[in-house]
Amino acid sequence: MIDQLQVRALLDPILNASDPLKTLREHVLSAGGLWADPNNTDLFEISFAGIAGIGFGAEEATQNWITLAQGQLSIEQFEALPN
């Protein structure tokens, strides 16, 4: 089961960042994960905090990861996120 408080703690700075991809990348690397820098058309997967986001390129995978992470939150946790 995914820890909603952990996901919320990860999402807050990512959603507040001017560059969400860069912020998510920093979180992954600081947690000891790996991050390959692909070109924009490679299929890319971000598996972090029990959530896997997939897309063509890191930007699309980041947006997919954010969407899936938001879906793991309760309504109260989701409504408390920054817009």
* For range 57-80, the mean pLDDT: 89
Entry pTM: 0.86
Alpha helix stretches (DSSP H) within 1-83: 4-16, 20-30, 58-71, 75-79
User: What are the tens digits of pLDDT across the range 7-58?
Assistant: 899 999 999 999 999 999 999 999 999 998 776 678 999 999 999 999 999 9
Higher pLDDT among residues 2 and 56, named by residue: 56
pLDDT of residue 11: 93
Query: Above 90 in pLDDT, residue 77?
Result: no
pLDDT at 83 over 80: no
d(CA 20, CA 71) in angstroms, rounded, equals 17
